[in-house]
A and B are shown apart, each in its own frame.
Chain A
Amino acid sequence: MPDLEAAAARVVAGDAQAFGDIVEGTSQGLVRLAARLVGSVPDAEDVVQDAYVSAYRALVAGRFDARSSVKTWLYRIVTHRAIDALRSTARRPVGTDQLDEMAVAPATTPEAHLALVELSQWLEVLPPEQRAAVVLHSVQGFSSHETAEILGCSEGAVEQRLVRARATLRSRRGAA
């Protein structure tokens, strides 16, 4: 695992190649998180690529204030990009091309792909913010504090989202 803080400092100093170390050290976890949020690996890769470009621009312009670690900062950018993607997906109807794309998603194993489909179907009734809280806290295993830091809200707001999400999922299961 490359030293992300050192790599970020090198990018700030003008070494664009150092960004490759950041990508190498974080892409696995970020694509996994984004896939759990948006429900497909190709969409997750788009989200993470956009997030990397935003992060690079911020580093070059000196807008990374290092108040959190580089890893947490990237998780925050990816999560918010994924929430935006979920919102825009909710507004437009799913076309057949998207269904085809999901069917051929290059997940690492067929079992992982099936589990991703199940996760996506389980959480599809939740608003994007609640879905993000469930994925970060209950699926990824982050603490309430870490989840709040990534989502940019209070721990109380995280707990509230989780309570509402659980209630929605429970009522859906009861209705099934």
Chain B
Amino acid sequence: MTFRTEESYDARAQRLGRATDGLGPSPGFHARVLAAIAREPVGWWSVVTPLAGRVLPVLVVLALLASAAAWQAASDTQQALAVPYGSLEVEW
């Protein structure tokens, strides 16, 4: 451990940067990563799943718009039914 109390922030950062330049992956790391990649599913499902993430919000918005339109249509119908028509005198 070479901590020096008088060492500036920049000097210490640069020294530790140089001292750790030799760090790297262990020998089996590349093979480990490629094995993990090989386990990844390939085919249509890996394409469809992320696409679903983009399409789903659009479908939700469309569903909300359709619900709003249906509610508006039902409201118009109720309003039309509530309008009093001229009463009809029935003569006996």
- Number of A interface residues, CB 8 Å? 47
Q: List 5 A-B contacts (CB under 8 A).
A: A45-B29, A53-B36, A122-B16, A138-B14, A139-B13
Q: Are A118 and B3 in contact (CB under 8 A)?
A: yes
Interface string of B17-43 (1 = CB under 8 A from A): 101111111100110111011101010
Interface residues of B (CB under 8 A from A): 1-3, 5, 9-10, 12-14, 16-17, 19-26, 29-30, 32-34, 36-38, 40, 42, 46-47, 49-51
A151 interface residue, CB < 8 Å from B? no
Which of B23, B34, B37, B40 meets A31, CB within 8 Å? B23
Question: Whole-angstrom distance between the alpha carbons of A169 and B29 in the complex?
Answer: 34
Number of A-B contacts (CB under 8 A): 116
Smallest beta-carbon distance B16→chain A, Å: 4
Closest 9 CB pairs of A and B: A115-B19, A138-B13, A61-B50, A139-B17, A108-B22, A112-B22, A31-B25, A106-B26, A119-B16
Interface residues of A (CB under 8 A from B): 16, 19-20, 23-24, 27-28, 31-32, 35-36, 41, 44-45, 48-49, 52-53, 56-57, 60-63, 106-109, 111-112, 114-119, 122, 134, 138-141, 166, 169-170, 173, 176
